[in-house]
Amino acid sequence: MPTIAVLGTFDTKGPEHAFLAEQIRHQGFTTLLIDVATLEHTGLSADIGTAEIAAQSGVADWKSVLAKKDRGASVALMAAGAARVLADLVSSGRIQGVISMGGGGGTAIGSAAMRGLPLGFPKVMVTTLASGHTAPYIGTSDLVLFPAVVDVAGLNRISRLTFENAAGAICGMVRAAEARRGTPPAGKPIVVASMFGNTTICINEAKRLIEAAGYEVLVYHATGTGGRNMEALISSGLVSGVLDLTTTEWADELVGGILTAGPTRLDAAARAGIPTLIAPGCLDMVNFGEPQTVPARFSGRRFYQHNPQVTLMRTDAKESAELGRILAEKANTYRGPVRIFFPKKGLSVIGEAGQPFHDVEADAALLAGIRRHLRSDIPLLEQDTTINDLAFARICAESLLHMLEAARQR
């Protein structure tokens, strides 16, 4: 019988988690109770208690941390310990799903513990924070946030409905996961690709060609979240190749735009060692919101109003040279096959000749930065096209397919 972990702060929310566990058992599942309370209590007993969780936090003097009763430090301690305990329970096959409930502290602990679990593993967080800014809790995981509606503070006619439905949700997810257990993943080998509105023509054509060769292409919108999600999927081991033609998020990371994917963008493929093709798509632009949101320090720069909510700023020659260095140094860390393609006539729709962001000097500085810092054994293939020229899309697709075939035969 599948086992579902019920994780929570049993010092303050013991009766609520006991009710939740009972509902899960009513549906035929076994439960494993995990207490991540930061205070001593005599309430709901657990299968895995606070001391065991804290001892797995990596903090040698965890007892003194809890003794100080500093809420922030204690929450961080329990979050770290719970993440390790859950990972061990999943890898050993002791649990087939996990659910937790909480307010601010409980959600911080529960979501941190679940974020690192594998894609597809059933995980639900019943939280009072589900309708707010949820990115810090979900990260790039497939954690399901379930709105608590009322606070997780007692059993009443509203909370009982919510908890019963949440139990049904995790039980249904576990049933679905169990039904596919032992079945080989359906579908074709996966290639991931990065895209922006300004590189859509290129990616659509490359996607068509790669899919015709027998691959499934998953396209990620390079909006910060998209890049982080793509990196997470690459790290999962499910991806065979990477068509990273839209590396624009690095422009936002360097210059201070709003669509950064963080400093680890481009790192996952390096660790995975899988065939990767990189291009500087849309590195000619930095993203901001409405015009009034652009920082005053950029006064006098070249802007383009992409839509009422998005203001684009052209990267200058100095920024472009630095982006070239970053792109090259990221590629230098790759242990698998990697190539960089450079479209010399434009990095985006609005970067082509006659368009608002056409800047020969800045593009040349970007190319020079790549050349100067790139490892000598990594191919840098300069193409006398724009990035959205179908010829560029085709040569990129063909090159990646060649690398994928070579990797398959090794």
Q: What per-residue confidence (pLDDT) applies to 199?
A: 97
Instruction: Out of 155, 180, 205, pick the residue that ends a domain.
Output: 180
pLDDT confidence bin for 361, thresholds 50/70/90: very high
**Distance between CA 221 and CA 102 in Å, rounded?**
32
Within-domain flag for 185: no
Asked whether residue 173 falls in the same domain as residue 93, the answer is yes
Question: What confidence tens digit (pLDDT) does each residue in 113-128 have?
Answer: 999 888 889 999 999 9
Burial class from Cβ neighbours inside 10 Å (0-12, 13-18, 19+) for residue 135 reads exposed
Q: What per-residue confidence (pLDDT) applies to 136?
A: 85
Instruction: Out of 121, 148, 180, pick the residue that ends a domain.
Output: 180
313-339 b/e with 16+ CB inside 10 Å = b?
bbbebebbbbbbbbbbebbeebebbbb
**Distance between CA 116 and CA 32 in Å, rounded?**
19
The H or E element spanning position 127 is strand 123-127
| Helix pair 71-91, 104-115: axis angle to 10 deg | 30
Asked whether residue 309 falls in the same domain as residue 400, the answer is yes
CATH code, domain carrying 312: 3.40.50.12030
**Distance between CA 202 and CA 206 in Å, rounded?**
6
The total domain count for the chain is 2
Instruction: Out of 122, 148, 180, pick the residue that ends a domain.
Output: 180
Q: What are the angstrom distances between the C-alpha of 200 and each of 49, 52, 285, 303, 315? A: 52, 51, 15, 21, 20
Q: How high does pLDDT run on average in the chain?
A: 94
User: Is the per-residue pLDDT at 43 higher than 90?
Assistant: no
**Distance between CA 86 and CA 5 in Å, rounded?**
9
Asked whether residue 139 falls in the same domain as residue 103, the answer is yes
Tokens of 77: 């301690």
Q: What are the angstrom distances between the C-alpha of 6 and each of 18, 25, 46? A: 9, 11, 10
Asked whether residue 167 falls in the same domain as residue 209, the answer is no
Asked whether residue 216 falls in the same domain as residue 354, the answer is yes
pTM of the model: 0.75
The H or E element spanning position 170 is helix 157-180
By DSSP bridging, strand 190-195 and strand 216-221 are parallel
**Distance between CA 201 and CA 204 in Å, rounded?**
5
3-state secondary structure 59-122: CCCHHHHHHCCCHHHHHHHHHHHHHHHHHHHHHCCCCCEEEEEECHHHHHHHHHHHHCCCCCCC
pLDDT, average across residues 162-178? 95
Asked whether residue 118 falls in the same domain as residue 264, the answer is no
Percent of the chain with pLDDT over 70: 99
Half-sphere exposure of 401 (CA within 13 A, CB side): 18
Asked whether residue 149 falls in the same domain as residue 224, the answer is no
Tokens of 331: 């590629």
Contacts of 365 (CB under 8 A, 6+ apart): 317, 318, 320, 321, 324
Within-domain flag for 131: yes
Contact 269, 276 (CB under 8 A): yes
Q: What is the largest CA-CA distance in the chain?
A: 74
- The residue segments making up the domain with residue 318 are 190-409
Within-domain flag for 344: yes
Tokens of 366: 């970007």
Position 46: which residue type?
A: A
Contact 126, 75 (CB under 8 A): no
Position 388: which residue type?
A: N
Residues in the chain: 410
Asked whether residue 148 falls in the same domain as residue 204, the answer is no
Higher-scoring residue by pLDDT: 72, 194: 194
CA 262 to chain centre: 11
Tokens of 46: 């657990």
Beta bridge partners of 242: 192, 276
Asked whether residue 339 falls in the same domain as residue 259, the answer is yes
Question: What confidence tens digit (pLDDT) does each residue in 280-335 have?
Answer: 999 999 999 999 999 999 999 999 999 889 999 999 999 999 999 999 999 999 99
**Count of H helices and E strands in the chain?**
14, 14
Asked whether residue 319 falls in the same domain as residue 399, the answer is yes
Asked whether residue 203 falls in the same domain as residue 262, the answer is yes
CA 344 to chain centre: 31
Contact 255, 295 (CB under 8 A): no
Quickly list H helices, 273-389: 317-332, 360-373
Question: What confidence tens digit (pLDDT) does each residue in 26-38 have?
Answer: 999 999 999 999 8
Asked whether residue 136 falls in the same domain as residue 48, the answer is yes
